[in-house]
């Protein structure tokens, strides 16, 4: 899983480097797929439930599951979430980061920074003996204190031999509640936060999820190994 995580992290880094004005999301997807396969791994998302891309690439008000397309062109000022998974020798890494393209507004930067900080506050609670509610509570309290919404309809998850495993890992909840965490559990913690309402809509393609009010969204995720002490981020370079 460490190797799968490293490959995933490298692929996201390369995808983020390609986020530029005038670039298509398909071009970024091609870069990501090439790197994963070059490393002897398989894109986890490709064909998953019929998904046609190697990465989910979502722009501005798109929360998750954006299908890469040669017709979807990134523009200056956009924020772009790149969600990637890689399977290596039967184990998955799963990670996401939101990148800014060119001259990004201060409000968009603040939203992205909040999503990242919320992840780290939640991940700090991923210690053996704690409960899932400790993670969700830490994320929710911070995000809402900044004036943002926390998406309820989609959550984090266990990850290992399968891309999505039990338990679900909500980005909201109550400290001291939920499944207890044990050493060597591997979970994907992934705050999905919104500038406005946390309500979302699913597009007619059955994949793309957008904010219900058309306001911005940011997504940040790592695969996390639970330990007795400081959690290990398996998808961080």
Contact by Cβ (8 Å): 59, 78: yes
Q: What is the pLDDT of residue 24?
A: 98
Pairing mode, strands 217-219 and 149-150: unpaired
DSSP 83: E
Distance CA 46, CA 157 (A): 19
Query: pLDDT, tens digit, for every residue of 28-74?
Result: 999 999 999 999 999 999 999 999 999 999 999 999 999 999 999 99
**Structure-token pair, residue 23:** 């670039």
Nearest to 139 by CA among 170, 164, 166: 170
The CATH number of residue 73's host domain is 3.90.230.10
pLDDT digits 0-9 by tens, 84-94: 999 999 999 99
> What are the phi and psi torsion angles at 167 (to 5°)?
-90, 160
In residues, how long is the chain?
237
Q: Which residues are 178's β-sheet partners? A: none
Instruction: Give residue 156's pLDDT band: very low, low, confident or very high (50, 70, 90).
Output: very high
Q: How many domains are there within the chain?
A: 1
Q: Judge if pTM exceeds 0.75.
A: yes
pLDDT of residue 52: 97
pLDDT in tens, 163-209: 999 999 999 999 999 999 999 999 999 999 999 999 999 999 999 99
Of all helices (H) and strands (E), which one includes residue 34? Answer: helix 25-38
- Mean pLDDT, all residues of the chain: 98
| pLDDT at position 204 | 96
Each residue's pLDDT tens digit, 129-138: 999 999 999 9
Chain centroid to Cα 9, Å, comes to 12
Helix (H), strand (E) at residue 5: helix 2-17
Residue 128 lies in domain: 2-233
């Amino acid at each position: 899983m460490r190797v799968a995580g490293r490959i995933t992290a490298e692929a996201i880094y390369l995808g983020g480097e390609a986020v530029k004005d005038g670039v298509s999301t398909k071009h970024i997807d091609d870069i990501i797929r090439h790197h994963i396969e070059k490393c002897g791994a398989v894109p986890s998302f490709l064909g998953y439930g019929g998904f046609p891309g190697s990465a989910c690439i979502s722009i501005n008000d798109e929360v998750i599951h954006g299908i890469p397309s040669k017709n979807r062109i990134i523009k200056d000022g956009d924020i772009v979430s790149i969600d990637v998974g890689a399977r290596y020798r039967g184990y998955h890494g799963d990670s996401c980061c939101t990148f800014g393209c060119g001259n990004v507004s201060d409000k968009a930067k603040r939203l992205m920074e909040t999503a990242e900080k919320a992840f780290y506050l939640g991940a700090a609670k991923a210690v053996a003996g704690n409960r899932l509610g400790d993670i969700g509570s830490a994320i929710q309290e911070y995000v809402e204190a900044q004036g943002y919404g926390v998406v309820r309809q989609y959550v984090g998850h266990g990850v290992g031999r399968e891309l999505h495993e039990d338990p679900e890992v909500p980005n909201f909840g109550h400290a001291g509640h939920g499944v207890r965490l044990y050493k060597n559990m591997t979970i994907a913690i992934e705050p999905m936060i919104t500038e406005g309402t946390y309500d979302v809509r699913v597009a007619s393609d059955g994949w793309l999820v957008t904010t219900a009010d058309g306001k911005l969204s940011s997504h940040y995720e790592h695969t996390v190994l639970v330990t007795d002490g400081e959690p290990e981020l398996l998808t961080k370079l």
